[in-house]
Structure 1
Amino acid sequence: MEFLIVLAVGTGAIFVAEMGDKTQLVAMSLATRYRPLTVLLGITTATFAVHAISVLVAEVLGLALPTAWITLAAGVSFLVFGAWTLRGDELSDRDEERAASRRIRSGFLTVCAVFFVAELGDKTMLATIAVGTQYHWLPVWLGSTLGMVLADAIAIALGAVLGKKLPERAVQLGAAIAFFAAGAVMTFQGVRMVAI
């Protein structure tokens, strides 16, 4: 039962983090150039790899730092992610170039490479680390990957069918509110634990 709860937490947190994120825009852009299934498989593979790195970092941090401080840091980071989400992400010219690149013959490998690089140090990678410091790595890894793939599947479908962006401001506001709520709860718990 705990595994399923953590899986749901990881899925939900990363789904929200990915909505309106730069990598979701990359997924949409890639879907205008490659078959949707190729983009989805490439993104899934890249996400498994990046989020494996994230949960590894989270495990190392979890062993090195006291739980109270990790909870406080995770809460503050979610508040920062909320502000980051409100500010919004846009594709830079470099991101557009990467998404349009056809240097690698295989569409699958191109999508994997572009998405892996775009995801390194991104908000969703950092959010996975934050969630991973709180829970067991396996359900966080699987859940964060699932949340990312679900959010990007929406972008892929829209990119393939419409070739247009999601209504960004509404998505940003909803995601920011979710981050602020989770961040406030985790920060409060962290402050209580540190004070004890």
Structure 2
Amino acid sequence: MIFVSEIGDKTFLIAAILAMSNPRLTVFLAACSALWIMSILSAFLGHALVTFVPMSWVSLAAAVMFLVFGVKLLQEAREMDGSEITKEMHSVEAELNEKDEVQKQQTMEAGELPRPDAEAEKNGSDNCSTLGSLKNLLGLLLSPIFVETFVLVFLAEWGDRSQLATIALGAAQNVYGVTAGTILGHTCCTGFAVIGGQLLASRISVKKVTCAGGVLFIIYSVLYGYEALCTGSTI
């Protein structure tokens, strides 16, 4: 479900666009880190709801939410003309370019200030190859593009349909299985985005993917509705 929901989504396009002009490994690690953290938080947030809300109510709420998502996706698929992925990609590119321009302007206004500890850090790293390797690793993980990608993906995923679905699944099913499945779905989708996101986005049929997602959500709605009835009758 996560994989179908995320193909062509905003987080997918952010990773794809940033990977075109930046190191792919850095973009992949940053995007996956943001999505993994969001997946864990969402799944365990849903799991915590079971402590305060009866299981039958949780299943019923999940069924209603999945039904709403499914119907909405099918309506969106019916109204699509095939150019949505191009428009969304241009929108994301414009948003990223605007952020870059703001950062460049702020850098020019601030000027290049000397860092008093830069030389000391350099001398310390030269004294030990282990420290030098650690510095290189931290430089990869904490580079500006890593931070930018992490923040952009995390904010784009917050309140997204896939996050709400993860919360619902975490409440109604085994939280560890939901967490693992969500992380796997995000990782595969991000991998496709980083390796050939632009080409994939230009060739996939967003209308078909959206329609498939709508049908999938409705199937989940029926399953959780049935589970809510069975749990309620047992209680």
Q: Give TM class, smaller chain.
A: 0.7 to 0.9
Q: Which has the higher helix share?
A: 2
- Give yes or no for the alignment of 1:57 onto 2:45: yes
Cα 1:189–1:157 change in 2 (3 A) is same
- Give yes or no for the alignment of 1:140 onto 2:178: yes
The alignment covers a number of residue pairs equal to 184
1:140 offset after TM fit, Å? Answer: 1.8
1:60 offset after TM fit, Å? Answer: 1.9
- Give yes or no for the alignment of 1:188 onto 2:226: yes
User: Which residue does 2:145 correspond to in 1?
Assistant: 107
Cα 1:20–1:80 change in 2 (3 A) is farther
User: Tell me, which stretches of 5 or more residues in structure 2 are unaligned?
Assistant: 78-83, 105-142
- Give yes or no for the alignment of 1:171 onto 2:209: yes
**Structure 1 residues 111-122: aligned runs within 5 Å:** 111-122=149-160
Query: Which string of whole-angstrom CA distances, capped at 9 and with x for unpartnered residues, describes residues 25-78 of structure 1?
Result: 333333333233222111110011111220231122111100111111112211
| Pairing partner for 1:36 from 4, 9, 24 | 24
1:184 offset after TM fit, Å? Answer: 1.4
Please tell me the residue identity of whatever aligns with 1:75: A
Cα 1:96–1:62 change in 2 (3 A) is farther
User: Which residue does 1:48 correspond to in 2?
Assistant: 36
User: Which residue does 1:7 correspond to in 2?
Assistant: none
| Pairing partner for 1:150 from 174, 185, 188 | 188
Question: Please, what TM-score do these two structures have when normalized by structure 2?
Answer: 0.67
Q: Distance in 1 between matches of 2:190 and 2:96?
A: 14
Q: Who wins on radius of gyration, i.e. which is larger?
A: 2
Q: Which secondary structure state, in structure 1, belongs to the residue aligned with residue 21 of structure 2?
A: coil
CA contact (8 A) 2:30 2:147 kept: yes
By relative contact order (CA 8 Å, sep 6+), the higher-ranking structure is 2
Q: Distance in 2 between matches of 1:60 and 1:16?
A: 26
Query: Which string of whole-angstrom CA distances, capped at 9 and with x for unpartnered residues, describes residues 136-155 of structure 1?
Result: 32332222111112123223
Question: Please, what TM-score do these two structures have when normalized by structure 1?
Answer: 0.79
Q: Which secondary structure state, in structure 1, belongs to the residue aligned with residue 172 of structure 2?
A: coil
Please tell me the residue identity of whatever aligns with 2:70: G
User: Which residue does 1:129 correspond to in 2?
Assistant: 167
Please tell me the residue identity of whatever aligns with 2:155: V
CA contact (8 A) 1:19 1:172 kept: no
Q: Distance in 2 between matches of 1:66 and 1:109?
A: 40
Q: Which secondary structure state, in structure 2, belongs to the residue aligned with residue 20 of structure 1?
A: coil
Identity %: 29
User: Which residue does 2:127 correspond to in 1?
Assistant: none
User: Tell me, which stretches of 5 or more residues in structure 1 are unaligned?
Assistant: 1-12
Please tell me the residue identity of whatever aligns with 1:41: L
CA contact (8 A) 1:119 1:125 kept: yes
**Structure 1 residues 76-95: aligned runs within 5 Å:** 76-86=64-74, 87=76, 91=88, 95=92
